[in-house]
């Protein structure tokens, strides 16, 4: 992959990283509000535990995504970006454009999903 495309992917990934970090902070902040909102009302408590669940799920998804983005940025640094981590073939460019943090080519991804 040429340097220009690498730079473009780097910019996209960094922007996504910042956005995610911001939303992780936001989720944590909201979680704290929910926790401090210690209501005696059963309905309120049910809502608050649902909200907590949702925030928790969101923050673990965010964490997984953050890791994927960070490792993609790492691969840009060590010039293995765009290569499948399994078969080491180049990942289709349109797949990379849609999901710049993907680790595997479509063939390997499908194989892995079949094995699950
Ligand atoms: Zn592959």
pLDDT in tens, 52-85: 888 888 888 899 999 999 999 999 999 999 999 9
Joined tokens for residue 112:
């892995």
Mean pLDDT in residue range 99-115: 95
75 and 106 part of one domain:
no
Q: Residue 41 above 90 pLDDT?
A: no
58 and 68 part of one domain:
yes
Q: Note down the domain range covering 115.
A: 82-116
- What are 77-98's pLDDT values in tens digits? 999 999 999 999 999 999 999 9
| pLDDT at position 44 | 84
Rg (the chain; Cα; Å): 19
48 and 102 part of one domain:
no
| pLDDT at position 42 | 83
Joined tokens for residue 60:
């673990």
74 and 52 part of one domain:
yes
62 and 111 part of one domain:
no
pTM of the model: 0.81
Contacts of 75 (CB under 8 A, 6+ apart): 81, 82, 83
70 and 43 part of one domain:
yes
Residues 16/69, Cβ–Cβ less than 8 Å? yes
Number of domains observed in the structure of the chain: 2
67 and 116 part of one domain:
no
Q: How many whole angstroms from 37 Cα to the centroid of ligand 1?
A: 48
Beta bridge partners of 60: none
Mean pLDDT in residue range 89-116: 94
Q: How many whole angstroms from 101 Cα to the centroid of ligand 1?
A: 14
70 and 86 part of one domain:
no
86 and 44 part of one domain:
no
pLDDT band of 47, cuts 50, 70, 90: confident
Over pLDDT 90: what percentage of the chain? 60
Q: Residue 110 above 90 pLDDT?
A: yes
Give residues whose Cβ lies within 5 Å of ion ligand 1. 84, 86-87, 105, 108
Q: How many whole angstroms from 93 Cα to the centroid of ligand 1?
A: 13
Residues 103/84, Cβ–Cβ less than 8 Å? yes
d(CA 31, CA 48): 9
């Amino acid at each position: 992959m040429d340097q220009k495309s690498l730079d473009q992917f780097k910019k996209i990934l960094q922007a996504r990283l910042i956005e995610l970090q911001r939303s992780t902070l936001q989720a944590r902040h909201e979680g704290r509000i929910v926790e401090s909102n210690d209501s005696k009302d059963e309905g309120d408590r049910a809502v608050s535990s649902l909200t907590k669940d949702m925030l928790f799920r969101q923050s673990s998804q965010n964490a997984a995504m953050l890791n994927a983005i960070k490792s993609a940025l790492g691969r840009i640094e060590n010039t293995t970006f765009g290569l499948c981590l399994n078969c080491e073939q180049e990942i289709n460019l349109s797949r990379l454009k849609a999901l710049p943090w993907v680790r595997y080519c479509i063939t390997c991804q499908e194989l892995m999903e079949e094995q699950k």
